[in-house]
Amino acid sequence: MTFSQSVKQELCHAKFHCPECGFLCTYMALSLCQRQSPEILYRSDRPEVVEFLAENLVEDIGVIATVTNPDLSAKGKNKVLLLTLEDKEDRQAYLKRYEIPMKNALEKVKKACCRAAVLRGAFLSCGTIVDPAREYHLEFRFLDKEQADLFASFCERFDLRFHRATRKETDILYLKESEHIEDLLTFMGAVKSAMNLMDVKIVKEVRNNVNRITNCETANIQKTVTASVKQVRDIELIRAGKGLSFLSEDLQKTAKARLKYPELSLGELCKVIDPNLSRSGLNHRLKRLSAIAEEMRKEK
């Protein structure tokens, strides 16, 4: 099961807060689907969504919608289920209750629970969310531009603003910010899914921080090794050309310490020289040794 499918499954089991919520959720889901005929209300490969809508129709107006599988040989993703109304009286009751302009239905929505029901129904029908382990992306796909406009305007009334795009003649409203996706999932009723997204986000952030620290430490180690190799070469050149006794006492101590401990960083090398030096003091001595070695190279 994909992350998107698990969200829809959770939304199908979330409870409504008032009777109007059930109607609005069902209305949005049925209004945003592609219909093939007046008898076919809904089609989907998600049985829990089809059954959820069938139960809502029974509770709302008492009509019994039939769930059918037109292709009995199909399995898995190819198994499309249809929600149909075969009884004429049931269809008339349905049309009286549900065949209203979306603009009129959305304008009457005032309560927060009903706004959540609208979003919930829309997501069940035309929403999808990418696995947060890959990226943060939630979207609604509308084949009808007018429906996309109405839905966007409805969401803007309570400061929920989507990015917008067109893909293959389909209007897309989407969110890319993880915080906004978490808030939307929680608002719709998919609290568990929102928590799962947060968990994934935390793991990704910790992993990124660990990688960042590791990369930083690796770079520092490489820098230390490169500097140490050069310092050792300079000292070896001085020892071979003039001997360490040529150096002053403090430079001799520094040169001998670096030759003995080539793997130590400046901070660690400071502690093995007696008396202990500061980093800046040690760095100054090593630069003096480097300058002497450079002079010897020029002389050669």
Strand partners, 166: 171
Q: Tell me which residue of 237, 44, 7, 216 sits closest to 132, measured CA to CA.
A: 7
Contact 33, 46 (CB under 8 A): no
Residue 3 backbone phi and psi in degrees, to 5: -65, -40
Q: What is the pLDDT of residue 218?
A: 82
Q: What is the pLDDT of residue 132?
A: 92
Q: What is the pLDDT of residue 71?
A: 60
Spatial CB neighbours of 23, under 8 Å, sequence gap ≥ 6: 56, 60, 97
Q: What is the pLDDT of residue 75?
A: 57
User: Could you tell me the CA-to-CA distances from 113 to 15, 109, 117 in Å, in that order?
Assistant: 11, 9, 6
| Amino acid occupying residue 160 | L
Query: Which domains can be identified in the chain, with CATH numbers?
Result: 3-203 (3.10.28.10), 218-299 (no CATH)
Contact 126, 139 (CB under 8 A): no
Residues making up the chain, counted from first to last: 300
- DSSP readout, the chain? --HHHHHHHHHHHSPPSSHHHHHHHHHHHHHTSPPSSTTEEEEES-HHHHHHHHHHHHHHH---PEEE-S-TT--GGG--EEEE--SHHHHHHHHHHH-S-HHHHHHT--SHHHHHHHHHHHHHHHEEE--TTT---EEEEESSHHHHHHHHHHHHTTT---EEEEETTEEEEEE--HHHHHHHHHHHT-HHHHHHHHHHHHHHHHHHHHHHHHHHHHHHHHHHHHHHHHHHHHHHHHHHHT-GGGS-HHHHHHHHHHHH-TT--HHHHHHHSSS---HHHHHHHHHHHHHHHHHHHHH-
Q: What is the pLDDT of residue 10?
A: 94
Contact 109, 142 (CB under 8 A): no
Give the integer Cα–Cα distance in Å for 115 and 159.
Answer: 12
pTM: 0.70
Q: Long-range CB contacts (< 8 A, 24+ apart) of 69-78?
A: 77/45, 78/45
Please report where in the chains the tokens 């992350």 appear, as a residue. Answer: 3
Q: What is the pLDDT of residue 35?
A: 61
Q: What is the pLDDT of residue 192?
A: 93
| Amino acid occupying residue 51 | E
Note if the bond before 275 is cis, omega within 30 degrees: yes
Q: What is the pLDDT of residue 140?
A: 95
The pLDDT tens digits along the chain (300 residues) read 899 999 999 999 999 988 899 999 999 998 888 665 556 778 777 888 888 888 888 888 887 777 777 665 555 555 777 888 777 888 888 888 888 899 999 988 989 999 999 999 999 999 999 999 989 999 999 988 999 999 999 999 888 889 999 888 889 999 999 999 999 999 999 999 999 999 988 888 888 888 888 888 788 788 888 888 888 888 888 888 888 888 888 888 888 888 888 888 888 888 888 777 888 888 898 899 899 888 888 887
Which tokens hold the place of 249? Answer: 């006492």
